[in-house]
Structure 1
Amino acid sequence: MVEQNGTEPDGAEEFDGDWLDLREPFDAAARDPGLAERLMQHVDEKARPCFLDLGAGTGSLTRWLGHFVARPHRWILADADAELMSRAFDTMMDAAEDVGWKATWPQKKALLVHSPQGAWRIEGILTNLADAPAGLPLDSVDVVTCSALCDLVSERWLIRLAAALARRKLPFYAALNVSGRERFTPPLPGDALVARGFLRDQRRDKGFSGIALGPEAPAVIARVFAAHGYKVHRAPSPWIVRRQSREMAYELALGHAEAALRHERRGAAQIRAWAEARGGQADDGQLAVRVEHQDLLCLP
């Protein structure tokens, strides 16, 4: 069921499965359905399209995008983290059962999720995505997808991937790329300091061939794929975390503070005070957060 092509890159950003589970409903609410529908129109002539999902994590994008396909199709989940990959398959089975669908593992080679519109065949490969496109089965797929990945990679990494996809005329769907400053409400005096430190953390090397794109990702994706003749479609996909989403608001505030502390040592006391205040607001249901993202669909 899971093929192993490599190991996790040194220095790569790591993600906790519980965090991915927490953010999944916010991801699903944020992604733009219009771009998903446009992608399905592009692959409409494919009887059984195959999607390769890079940095699949726990399979959040597969569970969301698969509902737009409306016919039998195949997924190959690519990630470097074996624990997340195992969790992805368990979560797929649980999600299928939650909506009354049957899930089977014929010969333990692939997970089949039997939807009313046809089976989803789901496989996995463990591969070092830092080496992409090396190690990816690009000749066997019809679409390459990712979610919340491209702001972690470098421009050099993206150029390599785009060239490989262009040679094969493969569409590229990249959801949830950070595109601007986060807004915590109500405002606090330390907001600017935390935002500055967090931005510096977004632009550090995260194990993908150089400095991460961070909020420059949407513009760079568009430019790199347009240079290969792709038509690039963009849509906003902000996280909107309302006050009642206490756990998500708390984790966002804590994560921002921890990232800022790596780079703003002189402001450490103010950042810690900010984190304590924001944590209290979140616990009291008084903290709202908006995180700007963009979805991009690049069609050959």
Structure 2
Amino acid sequence: MTVDLSTHFAAWLTLREPADAAARCTEFVDRVRHRLAGAGPLVIHDLGTGTGSMGRWLAPRLPRPQHWIMYDRDADLLARAAAGMADVVAGDGTPVTVATRQADLTRLTAADLAGASLVTASALLDMLTADEVERLAAVCAGARCPTLLAISVVGRVVLTPADPLDAEIAAAFNAHQRRGVGGRTLLGPDAVDACAAAFARHGVDVAVRPSPWRLGPDQAALAGEWLAGWLDAACEQRPELAGRAAAYARRRRAEAAAGRLGVLVDHRDLLAGG
């Protein structure tokens, strides 16, 4: 990832962080806390950490000293993640420390997760292939600790008020999420079901809960960026949509400016072994 792309992506992750925090399933945090009760200092591996939003959200919700090991391909994002965790403490005021690992998550091994108390990720699954999800589940199952995978898209978007073009754009976007990239076919909105099935094959209990974004006038900046990206992806998948999508974007921007646009972007959180 180039510096410019990394900076742009970091800005997007920062913009979406409050919506992710509001959406994540707090029931799963309670279950993880119960599972880890009395376990001593916690070692938490955060996969595809980005700017570290999962750590900033989850660490204060768990007690006892914590050591977070944060993985990403991008060194700049890892540096931002570590800096963003500098003032974070555990829920009982005990210290939180951080280490970073620049790594390709598709090559994660059981040795990488040795000694883990918990494995986490956010907005990761949909960017993986079926084989990669299978390997991830196998490695996490082998670690014999809970795995919390949050904010994975499932292909459902609801915009209010409705527009005749909504369904066609959503279908094109979902097809884009399942596209081939460099010889890899992404799972996109099928990833949560594939991951749940993979953990089940390894004998690990799995729970899945909804974690939708609900964006109204007070999240206009995020809704606008999301809408632009949603439309760009749909038109990349189906270029013939471009003309109608431009008019659609103008209608939606006008509704947003008038405070009338509501956006629900559905996600799922998955807890394995919790």
Query: Does TM, scored on the shorter chain, surpass 0.5?
Result: yes
1:170 aligns with 2:163: no
After the TM superposition, which of the residue ranges 253-262 and 242-251 deviates more from structure 2? 242-251
CA contact (8 A) 1:247 1:282 kept: no
Q: Which amino acid aligns with 2:132?
A: W
Distance 1:65 1:213, change over 3 A: same
CA distance in 2, matches of 1:170, 1:42: 9
1:297 is aligned to 271
Alpha-carbon deviation of 1:210? 2.8
- Contact 2:52–2:81 (CA under 8 A) maintained in structure 1: yes
Q: Deviations over 1:200-231 (max 9, x none)?
A: 11111356x73222221221111110111111
CA distance in 2, matches of 1:114, 1:36: 13
How far does the alpha carbon of each residue in 1:177-201 deviate from its partner, in whole angstroms, 9 at most, with x for none? 1123111111122212211111111
Give the structure-2-normalised TM-score.
0.91
Displacement of 1:299: 0.3
Answering whether residue 223 of structure 2 is matched by residue 249 of structure 1, we say yes
In the alignment, is the contact (CA less than 8 A) between 2:70 and 2:101 conserved in 1? yes
Which amino acid in 2 is paired with 1:33?
T
Partner of 1:21 in structure 2? Answer: 14
**Counterparts of 1:137-152 in structure 2 under 5 Å?**
137-152=112-127
Report the Cα distance in structure 2 between the residues aligned to 1:203 and 1:32, rounded to whole angstroms: 25
Q: CA offsets, 1:229-283, max 9 Å, x none?
A: 1111111111110123211111111111100111111221011211222223223
Alignment of 1:40 onto 2:68: no
Does the 8 Å contact 1:253/1:279 carry over to 2?
no
Which residue is 1:160 aligned to? Answer: 135
Matched, 1:30 2:17: no
In 1, Cα distance between equivalents of 2:264 and 2:181: 24
How far residue 32 of structure 1 moved from its aligned partner, in angstroms, is 0.7
| Separation (CA, whole Å) in 2 of partners of 1:206 and 1:116 | 44
Higher mean alpha-carbon deviation, 160-169 vs 224-233, is at 160-169
Amino acid at match of 1:78: Y
1:91, distance to aligned residue in structure 2 (A): 2.3
Classify 1:114/1:146 alpha carbon distance in 2 versus 1 (closer, same or farther; 3 Å): closer
Q: Partner of 2:58 in structure 1? A: 65
**CA–CA distance in 2 between the matches of 1:283 and 1:92?**
35
The answer for the alignment partner of 1:92 in structure 2 is: 85
Q: Which residue is equivalent to 1:233?
A: 207
Q: Mapping of 1:141-220 within 5 angstroms?
A: 141-206=116-181, 210-220=184-194
Cα distance between partner residues in 2 of 1:155 and 1:15 = 28
Q: 2:234 pairs with 260, 267, 270, which one?
A: 260
Partner of 1:3: none
Note closer, same or farther for the CA distance 1:115–1:29 as it changes in structure 2 (3 Å cut): closer
Q: Residue in 2 aligned with 1:274?
A: 248
4+ residue stretches of structure 1 with deviation over 4 A?
Answer: 113-116
Give the paired residue count. 271
Q: CA RMSD in A?
A: 2.3
Instruction: Give yes or no for contact 2:63–2:91 (8 Å, CA) kept in 1.
Output: no
Q: Give ranges in structure 1 of 5+ residues lacking alignment.
A: 1-7, 102-112
Residue aligned with 2:252, SS: helix
In 2, Cα distance between equivalents of 1:211 and 1:253: 24
C-alpha distance in 1, partners of 2:37/2:63? 10
Could you tell me which amino acid in structure 1 is paired with residue 267 of structure 2? Answer: H
Alpha-carbon distance, 1:145 to partner: 0.8
- Bigger fraction of residues in helix: 2
SS of residue in 2 equivalent to 1:19: helix
Over 3 Å counting, the alpha-carbon distance change for 1:14 and 1:200 in structure 2 is: farther
Tell me by how many angstroms 1:30 deviates: 0.3
Looking at structure 2, the residues matched to 71 and 117 of structure 1 have their Cα atoms a distance apart, in angstroms, of 8
